[in-house]
Structure 1
Amino acid sequence: MAFRSAVITFPGSNCDRDMAVALERISGTAPVRIWHGDAELPDGLDFIALPGGFSYGDYLRSGAMAANSPIMREIIRAADRGVPVLGVCNGFQVLTEARLLPGALMRNASQHFICRTVSLKVENAQSLFTQGYAAGEEIQIPVAHHDGNYFADEATLDELEAESRVAFRYVQNCNGSRRDIAGVLNKAGNVLGMMPHPERAVDSAHGGTDGTALFEGVVKALAKA
């Protein structure tokens, strides 16, 4: 059975095509492209991706307006049913604003936009999204953000640690994120938000392929389900 995925586009998304290309390259099936104003998702989706960009120009707070788009109501329902949802960069911001993930993404500690490849440590290699990696493995993934400084209160951070919901950490913290957190999972493990861009690391011509294992792991796991 073909892998059925969807990529959501908001006004200001600029990594939706990158995400769609990565998903088609690895799964062999082009994802459905969904506009933020659509009120419904197609039946039978296996995977939903919220891409990077600057939805609504990052007005109010990054991701705040996109989190109230019509399609987000359906994405929240899908996530609650167990459909895997990946939010990258601005998509991560949207997931926190929609309360699908805890915490918030604030302005980088340097107050500057950061665009470079960084080293990540795979903290949890047992999740749907990270099973293609080894625990403790260091991977190289690009970042490109101005508001990637992950913040949560101490109680929330302790809970994330205790429940193994920190998926990735920065080896060298590039943005001030609490406890070097680069990606977190929801309690059920079917929602991942991360600031680095794995979809930009699936083609050696672009500088590296360390993002490939994330998508391959998801596709293989869902094919067995």
Structure 2
Amino acid sequence: MTVAVVRFGGSNCDRDAEAALEHLDIDAEIVWHEDDLPADTTGIVLPGGFSYGDYLRAGAMAARSPILKEVREAAAEGVPVLGICNGAQVGCESGLTEGAFTTNESARFQCEHVFLRVERTDTPWTAAFEEGDVIEIPIAHGEGRFEIEEDRLTRLETEDRVLFRYCDAEGNLTDDANPNGSKHSVAGVLGESETVAVLMPHPERATLPDVGGTDGQEILRGFERAVER
């Protein structure tokens, strides 16, 4: 299997994602956004960073890059796609998932470790966890607040497409545990398929025990599980 890590102008977590996947013995290849996806692509990462300098709106310009048409087609065919941070913004802007990520409630860039509560376990990304498990993953964003119209949020929740929520160490959803003011503490959501997910925290920065912990490993292993399925 080969996971394509899409590099946009301004990406700065593409190498992190590639290195984290390789550490887990998952082949990864960085692909420039103006090129085609490799023929043997079995997974896709839209990485973090500041694509196009976040001009216009975070993720909006990258969502119109040539490769996104291929990414959407691959996702529709069941190829697993994971959007991380800026990649989550790109995922929303390109229609892979619903909602949008906008300016933090604090109006400041925030870089810290946060706790996430696992909301679903029947997806490749969360199959190693139990529902309600609390994991620790770092964030690094200025526009991470999840926003969506109330009726669409209700539909997302009714369809059980919220993947992670910000919480405290005991799994409680509180205002203090919500780092950016996301609606209903949403930290990650699924697309129409359980193989398409976007999340604001950085699992690739939580794969080494000496650098950020290892709670992100099982999220990234979702690429292996999706292929096995």
- Which category of TM-score, normalised to the shorter sequence, fits these structures? over 0.9
Cα shift readout 1:31-67 (whole Å, capped 9, x = no counterpart):
12100111x2112311100100000000000000000
More off after superposition, 212-221 vs 53-62:
212-221
Residues 57 and 187 (structure 1), Cα distance of their counterparts in 2 relative to 1, 3 Å cut? same
Mapped contact 1:87–1:94 kept (Cα < 8 A): yes
Cα shift readout 1:101-150 (whole Å, capped 9, x = no counterpart):
10111100000000000000001111121111111000000000000000
Unaligned ranges ≥5, structure 2: 168-176
2:192 paired residue number: 187
Distance 2:216 2:19 in 1: 13
Q: 1:36 aligns with which of 33, 37, 43?
A: 33
Aligned-pair CA distance for 1:187: 1.8
Aligned-pair CA distance for 1:216: 2.4
Q: 2:110 aligns with which of 114, 119, 142?
A: 114
Mapped contact 1:132–1:217 kept (Cα < 8 A): no
Q: 1:21 aligns with which of 13, 19, 23?
A: 19
Map of 1:40-51 to 2, 5 A cutoff? 40-51=36-47
Map of 1:21-100 to 2, 5 A cutoff? 21-26=19-24, 28-38=25-35, 40-100=36-96
Distance 1:29 1:123 in 2: 25
Distance 1:217 1:94 in 2: 20
Aligned-pair CA distance for 1:218: 3.1
Amino acid at match of 2:159: E
1:125 paired residue number: 121
Aligned residues between the structures: 220
Mapped contact 2:195–2:226 kept (Cα < 8 A): no
Map of 1:138-149 to 2, 5 A cutoff? 138-149=134-145
Taking structure 2 as the reference length, the TM-score comes to 0.93
Distance 1:16 1:49 in 2: 8
Residues 132 and 71 (structure 1), Cα distance of their counterparts in 2 relative to 1, 3 Å cut? same
2:10 paired residue number: 12
SS in 1 for 2:107: coil
Q: Percent identity?
A: 48
1:173 paired residue number: 178
Unaligned ranges ≥5, structure 1: none
Residues 218 and 29 (structure 1), Cα distance of their counterparts in 2 relative to 1, 3 Å cut? closer
Aligned-pair CA distance for 1:217: 3.9
Distance 1:117 1:29 in 2: 25
Aligned-pair CA distance for 1:29: 4.2
Mapped contact 2:161–2:189 kept (Cα < 8 A): yes
Taking structure 1 as the reference length, the TM-score comes to 0.95
Amino acid at match of 2:216: G
Distance 2:221 2:73 in 1: 25
Is the counterpart of residue 219 in structure 1 residue 215 in structure 2? no
Residues 173 and 164 (structure 1), Cα distance of their counterparts in 2 relative to 1, 3 Å cut? same
Mapped contact 1:132–1:216 kept (Cα < 8 A): no
Distance 2:113 2:120 in 1: 21
Distance 1:178 1:85 in 2: 23
Amino acid at match of 1:35: W
Is the counterpart of residue 205 in structure 1 residue 210 in structure 2? yes
SS in 2 for 1:46: strand
Distance 2:195 2:54 in 1: 26
